[in-house]
Structure 1
Amino acid sequence: MRFLRLRVALCGALAVLIAVAVWAARRPAERPPDAVTADVTGSPHPAASAGVGALPQPSAARSSGADPGGLRYSFDFDEGFDGGSDGTIADTGGRLPLRVRRAQGGTITAVPHDGGLAVRFPPRCEHYGAESCARAILQSGPADFLNPGRLPFSYGASILVKSSETSKGANVVQKGFSVGDSQFKLQVDGAAGRPSCVIVGNAGPAIHVALASRTVADGRWHRVECSRGDSLLTVAVDGIVVGRTAIPSSLSIANSDPLCIGGKGTSANNDQFVGAIDDVFVTRGA
């Protein structure tokens, strides 16, 4: 009888352990505090469907440049642009909508560029990182399909930055975080205005940076591209490689974080980009 009772008790404990394991597997993963949830299939956000703060979508005539292995944002709109609303902006393939996120009155405006439009972010704040600084970024929902893993890939944008618009931190494109996560990022940090490409793998905290040898903070448009090969990360400005760093061939980047343009979030120390951005892209194959 004692053996039977022990067997029943063990069976009951096993049932509890199985139930806990199932609950843990179904529990949604915790997300960074600045992340938002959105439809990554390209369907309109509920706010846009209801006609509340909806932003215009890119011209269909200009959508043929979509990359089936990645995505591109041209910011060329058929109608007016309201960067102070909370509507959505589609990429040229309609796969990953972005939302305008802002704080302290920050807005994003449309400016002419190369026969179309680009987006300009809030002006430089006198006190970098202060809570009172105007902030605004573009952010998607979870973008798992952009994870390159160990494969070659490239990402970048066309940017315009004046010498008076540089700061301690200015993020152009970012997916993921450098602490307890993985990441790829393009930034223009420091008074010198030299762009750099940053990647962090899932296996450890090592931060790999390819820093450009030249500035882009001269008030002119420049195309900056980051490329990850098998064991090399490079940064190119206007088609010329101006910086590189060796990376482990085993480095893998995979996270469920959103794609952010113009900053990493809306907190006070958000690495707000100051200037204009156009033609943001992420592609598979370096």
Structure 2
Amino acid sequence: MSVEPSAGPHAVASANVPGEPAVQPSEAKATSAAPKGSTALRYSFDGGLSAPIVDAGGRLPLKVRKVAGGELSAVPHAGGLAVRFPPRCDHYGAESCARAILQSGPADFLNPGQADFSYGASVLVKSSETSKGANVMQKGFSVGDSQFKLQVDGVAGRPSCVVVGTGRSTIYVALASRSVADGRWHRIECSRSSALLTVAVDGAVVGQAAIPPSLSIVNTGPLCIGGKGTSANNDQFVGVIDDVFVTRSA
């Protein structure tokens, strides 16, 4: 798991579910009805990157932020479009590495507090595109803040769901027991249900971590897709992302 560069010592709690489910990745575009609960927002990216990038409800516009020649491109996926992020850099964390992300403005309505919620996306990552830091989506930070995050970190390309509570120092991680870095589309969903954080791939739960029922996530951070920002150590995602969603309990 990648931690923000300003982070001090933290306790990290994680657990995973052994075994790999024999599930075929879905090539169909996900629908807003796929996650449980009421959908707070969902991005299909089918309108491309030139027009205003808004969610299915026309809310929370995203802006393209890019540094050092980083570019985003719209690519076909299941009858619509998805977003391809910059290629892998041989010198991870270097200022010369191309970076590009999508970032919203204020998104307080996405703060789940102590309520059950879920978030995730469909991703396509090749085995040659993995790195030690690859953020699919993130809101908030782990230091002096609170956070929820989905990442596909490490050479193995195993996704993980991360939450940090307001006023707490422990980083809770649900790490998947399987890789998604096989050049095929996979649907990843993170779910917080009371005292349990789970990660599911293609509809099968493949990792979990116990969390305090009182853990609350409230922060002023924007929603970031493809990286936590544009600094050199931005945990740049490499690959393709589609159908980003956040839900809240009804």
Deviation by residue 1:169-216 (Cα, 9 ceiling, x = unmatched) = 000010000000000000001000000000000031110000000000
Q: Compute the displacement of 1:88 (Å).
A: 3.7
Is 1:231 aligned to residue 195 of structure 2?
A: yes
Choose which of 44, 50, 59 in structure 2 pairs with 1:95: 59
Aligned to 2:42: 72
Please, which of 184, 198, 201 is the counterpart of residue 148 of structure 2?
184
Distance 1:255 1:69 in 2: 19
Could you give the per-residue CA deviations for residues 145-188 of structure 1, whole angstroms, max 9, x where no partner exists? 00000000000000000000000100001000000000000000
Over the residues paired in the alignment, what is the CA RMSD in angstroms? Answer: 1.7
5 Å-filtered alignment, 1:66-215, equals: 69-77=39-47, 81-82=49-50, 88-215=52-179
Aligned to 2:244: 280
> Cα distance, 1:247 vs. partner?
0.2
CA distance in 2, matches of 1:166, 1:284: 30
Spell out structure 1 runs of 4+ moving beyond 3 A.
64-69
Whether 1:244 and 2:200 are equivalent positions in the alignment is no
User: How much does 1:68 deviate?
Assistant: 6.0
Partner SS, residue 105 of structure 2: strand
Q: State the percentage of identical aligned residues.
A: 77
**TM-fit CA distance, 1:225:** 0.2
Task: Note if 1:261 corresponds to 2:249.
Answer: no
Higher percent of residues as helix:
1
Q: Which amino acid aligns with 1:224?
A: I
Task: Identify the residue that residue 17 of structure 1 maps to in structure 2.
Answer: none
Look at both structures and tell me which one has the larger radius of gyration over its CA atoms. Answer: 1
State TM-score, norm by structure 2. Answer: 0.84
Unaligned runs of 5+ in 1: 1-61
| Higher-strand-fraction structure | 2
TM-score normalised over the length of structure 1:
0.74
Post-superposition offset of 1:81? 4.0
